[in-house]
Structure 1
Amino acid sequence: MSGPLLEIRGLHAAYGKIEALKGVDIDISPGEIVALIGANGAGKSTLMMTIFGKPRARAGQILFDGRDITDLATHEIARLRIAQSPEGRRIFPRMSVAENLQMGADATDTSEADRISALERVFALFPRLKERLSQRGGTLSGGEQQMLAIGRALMSRPRLLMLDEPSLGLAPLIARQIFDAIRTLNRQDGLTVLIVEQNANHALRLAHRGYVMVNGLITLNGTGNELLQRPEVRSAYLEGGRRA
């Protein structure tokens, strides 16, 4: 396809009377990693959730591969092979690693061969999950739970993977492993990725392009390197160890 894989135009969303998104415009081309950065409460997670149907958009349009998905139900959006690894991981703590991964595969209509292929890919990225297949998700370490959350999303063989704060609360070494896995998925598999990440420095170095969100609006965009050099980005999100 020649156009964007994901195209968002004039998107508004709210929680009751509180407007969280105020006319957001974003494009993501096939095979891109796009980072979305901003302070806590800027609306980044709301944007991801609105793409997935909860909350509903109050105005604007979301197009995926040229199709309007603005009013689709969440399960219908998942079947289009859009997958999300949400903030806080949200794995099923009483279910085993294997059962958590199976839940990801059940989100789409995939063949048994596709499920086996997806599982092999997950194990290649995160060998630790294979070692803990029978272990309950809630007994895993924080890093292992993040691997499981991403692995569960990958089991649907997504065309677009959305990651919300994948390094949150992780030790630097484990966070680096997560970022390396994202880079591998993009370079080797051509996977398109939208990432919301508290560590703006890591996110922009990983991403082809980035957007800065402030109070529900996109205020800046450019390549990852361009945004890293912008004085306002450096002062707000990079200098002094500050993270967003």
Structure 2
Amino acid sequence: MSAGAPPLLSARNVVAHYGPVCALRGVDLDVAEGEIVTLIGSNGAGKTTLMMTIFGDPRASEGEIRFAGRDLTRLPTHEIARLGLAQSPEGRRIFPRMSVLENLRMGAALGRPDCFAQDLERMFSIFPRLRERAGQRGGTLSGGEQQMLAIARALMSRPKLLMLDEPSLGLAPLVVRQIFEVVRDLNRAEGLTVFLVEQNAFHALSLAHRAHVMVNGRITLSGAGRELLARPEVRAAYLEGGA
């Protein structure tokens, strides 16, 4: 982010609840255009809640979330998506009865209809396996193929910001490496801005320009991805079988 330039996405003092339970406790976070920012933490730390709160479900009960200068905190989810945010959610959540091609058409609903063929070919070049599976129902794909489809579906909308929630969840190590290599290549070649929520701390911190650690709904550590990767307390907690 150049000096003085506002972040593409910013969260300020964001608090969110699930009923009486406070899930986010005053979160501050920025994502600058063209960078990869990752949020790591244990299961239940509040990572997914932050990503869902950015999309308006649950609503922030306090604080402000802004994207490209727009206040998102009271916008409905479909209007937030139209601003250029796209999410590949935890658990992938593809349409299992739809074919790969039909899933990609759904992702393109917020893109440019006149560029569908071009965007489709781009997805097939990024994920060649999807070309082979184009007519196959999404629910019959392997876990890795479903994750590729979830990311490709999000990319079909031509987002300004791609939000990835636990893309490595349940995948074999080789597939995890492939997924993270795709994200790195998209960022380097196209300048795609990425906000990544991830439990796999090694891959996430190796990939990220900047990173944050979340514990019990609060961000407790921040810094460059490689810097956090080298910190003893991060290694003990997230890379060496610690708490």
Partner secondary structure for residue 240 of structure 2: helix
CA shift, 1:53, in A, is: 0.9
Partner of 1:112: 114
TM-score, normalisation: structure 2: 0.96
**Identity in percent:** 69
Give the conservation status (yes or no) of the 8 Å contact 2:56–2:75: yes
- Unaligned segments of structure 2, at least 5 residues: none
CA shift, 1:128, in A, is: 0.6
Distance in 2 (CA, whole Å) between partners of 1:214 and 1:201 is: 17
Partner of 2:58: 55
Choose 92-101 or 225-234, whichever is displaced more: 225-234
Partner of 1:197: 198
Give the conservation status (yes or no) of the 8 Å contact 2:104–2:156: yes
Which amino acid in 2 is paired with 1:188?
Answer: A
Which amino acid in 2 is paired with 1:101?
Answer: L
- 1:1-244 to 2 correspondences below 5 Å: 2-106=5-109, 108=110, 110-113=112-115, 115-240=116-241
Backbone CA RMSD of aligned residues:
1.2
CA shift, 1:111, in A, is: 3.3
CA shift, 1:117, in A, is: 2.7
Distance in 2 (CA, whole Å) between partners of 1:118 and 1:212 is: 35
CA shift, 1:65, in A, is: 1.0
CA shift, 1:109, in A, is: 5.0
User: Alpha-carbon deviations, 1:153-175, whole Å to 9, x = none?
Assistant: 00000010000010111111111
Partner secondary structure for residue 11 of structure 1: strand
Distance in 1 (CA, whole Å) between partners of 2:189 and 2:166 is: 23
Give the conservation status (yes or no) of the 8 Å contact 2:111–2:156: no
User: Alpha-carbon deviations, 1:117-172, whole Å to 9, x = none?
Assistant: 32222111101101111100001011000000000000000010000010111111
Paired residues in the alignment total 240
Distance in 2 (CA, whole Å) between partners of 1:118 and 1:7 is: 29
* CA 1:109–1:125: 2 relative to 1, 3 Å: closer
Partner secondary structure for residue 35 of structure 1: strand
TM-score, normalisation: structure 1: 0.96
Which amino acid in 1 is paired with 2:222?
Answer: N
Partner secondary structure for residue 159 of structure 2: coil
User: Alpha-carbon deviations, 1:21-47, whole Å to 9, x = none?
Assistant: 010000010001011001110000000
